[in-house]
Amino acid sequence: MDHIIAVDIGGTNIRAALFPRDSDTHSAINKIPTVSPQDPAISAVDRVIECISSIWPKDGNVLGICAAAPGSIAVKEGLVLLAPNIEGWENIPLGQILSEKFGVKTLINNDARLAAYGEWKKGAGIGYENLLYFTVSTGLGGGIIANGDVIQGDIGIATEVGHIVLHDKGNRCGCGLDGHWEAFSSGTGIENYVRNRLVGMSAADSPFDSETPTTPQIAAAASDGFPIAIEAFERAGYYLGIGVSNYLHIFNPSCVIFGGGVSQVGELIFTPFQESLKKHVLNLRYIENLAIKMAELGDNAGLVGSAEYIRDRLD
Ligand SMILES: [Zn+2]
């Protein structure tokens, strides 16, 4: 039987899934920590190879591999330019290493873009030819489908969606630059805002046990009416609306999909988001028929997207 293999590489875990070529349902899956608990000196590349090998079919009939990796990927070269969450991953020719090791066609792409691809093909985005997908969690990533194709750019580093500049003197982003969208609307942005506002506040006035509350703790405090927590989500939602309106002006999509943990907080962020969106679009026609949906594939978006991406690119 012909198979394809999808791999999702994260800073914490590597997952690999074996799919029959013509089926959405994986026949084997394995998850291993990215850093080996037994021997931390083993490279993450070797861990990826180990994870793929562990699900390799007995008949050996694999047509292709697609790996989703975090960070900047030069897609055409299969080169991981930089993956900050994985130690030592700078200029790693992962595509070449895996194709030489396993002797099959191998594609490497950005994890958020492949999650967008998965939602488009098998999730909330089925049937839409123009869609935006944003995953709002610790960071803010995503992918864009325009005119029925995924936007990748010249070498493959397009759609770093969270790193558009909203304020040139704004907060520091996780990437080290200032004022990026991610610094306002991600979980990290929400946490930084609350942490700064708590400075100087007496412990008795704060609902938090810690000076550095997490996004779920801030969401709980907002639901209980703590003003600073409510403001944190209002601010994140306001900037979420600004960022999305920028993308609406460029791509005029018919669907926007939100995934990631922060998007699970619901109205706290989406009510200010909707207000901000209305305020910032050039023309209400941008949003009149716009479907705003929650992602459907959850943690499997990267694996499903990788499988669909290679499936669509087999000879
Ligand atoms: Zn940035």
Tokens 């805002």 label which residue? 193
HEC letters along 203-217 = HHHCCCCCCCCCHHH
pLDDT at 315 over 90: no
The four Cα atoms 294, 300, 303, 306 give a dihedral, to 10 degrees, of -10
Q: How far does residue 60's CA lie from ligand 1's centre (Å)? A: 42
Sheet containing 3-9: which strands, arranged edge to edge?
Answer: 28-33, 13-20, 3-9, 62-69, 105-110
Q: How far does residue 245's CA lie from ligand 1's centre (Å)? A: 18
Q: How far does residue 84's CA lie from ligand 1's centre (Å)? A: 12
Residue 10 CA to residue 83 CA, distance in Å, equals 9
- C-beta separation of 62 from 29 below 8 A: no
pLDDT in tens, 84-106: 889 999 999 999 999 999 999 99
Which range, of 17-31, 93-107, 223-237, 241-255, averages the lowest pLDDT? 17-31
DSSP element (H, E) containing 313: none
Q: How far does residue 299's CA lie from ligand 1's centre (Å)? A: 23
Q: Which residues 6+ apart lie within 8 Å of 312 measured at CB? A: none
pLDDT in tens, 259-301: 999 999 999 999 999 999 999 999 999 999 999 999 999 999 9
pLDDT in tens, 281-290: 999 999 999 9
Q: How far does residue 161's CA lie from ligand 1's centre (Å)? A: 9
The beta-strand segments (E) located in the chain are 3-9, 13-20, 28-33, 62-69, 72-74, 79-82, 90-92, 105-110, 131-136, 140-146, 149-150, 255-259, 291-294
pLDDT score, position 95: 98
Record the tokens describing residue 289, joined without a space: 């028929």
Q: What is the DSSP letter of 284?
A: T
pLDDT in tens, 246-258: 999 999 999 999 9
Strands 3-9 and 131-136: unpaired
Q: How far does residue 138's CA lie from ligand 1's centre (Å)? A: 12
**Widest distance between CA atoms in the chain:** 65
- C-beta separation of 16 from 5 below 8 A: yes
Residue 192 CA to residue 183 CA, distance in Å, equals 9
pLDDT score, position 51: 98
Nearest to 153 by CA among 74, 80, 82, 77: 74
Phi–psi pair at 150, nearest 5 degrees: -85, 135
pLDDT in tens, 49-67: 999 999 999 998 999 999 9
Q: How confident is the model at residue 127 (pLDDT cuts 50, 70, 90)?
A: very high
pLDDT score, position 166: 95
Tokens 């926007």 label which residue? 256
Record the tokens describing residue 212, joined without a space: 């550095």
pLDDT in tens, 147-197: 999 999 999 999 999 999 999 888 999 899 999 999 999 999 999 999 999
Residue 281 CA to residue 246 CA, distance in Å, equals 8
Q: How far does residue 54's CA lie from ligand 1's centre (Å)? A: 36
How many CB atoms are located within 10 Å of the residue 223 CB? 15
Average of per-residue pLDDT across 60-80: 96
Q: How far does residue 162's CA lie from ligand 1's centre (Å)? A: 6
pLDDT score, position 146: 98
Residue 32 CA to residue 261 CA, distance in Å, equals 22
Tokens 């960022």 label which residue? 243
Q: How far does residue 34's CA lie from ligand 1's centre (Å)? A: 24
- C-beta separation of 169 from 163 below 8 A: no
pLDDT in tens, 199-223: 989 989 999 999 999 999 999 999 9
170 burial (CB, 10 Å; 0-12 / 13-18 / 19+) is middle
- C-beta separation of 170 from 162 below 8 A: no
Q: What is the DSSP letter of 108?
A: E
Q: How far does residue 125's CA lie from ligand 1's centre (Å)? A: 26
Q: How far does residue 49's CA lie from ligand 1's centre (Å)? A: 30
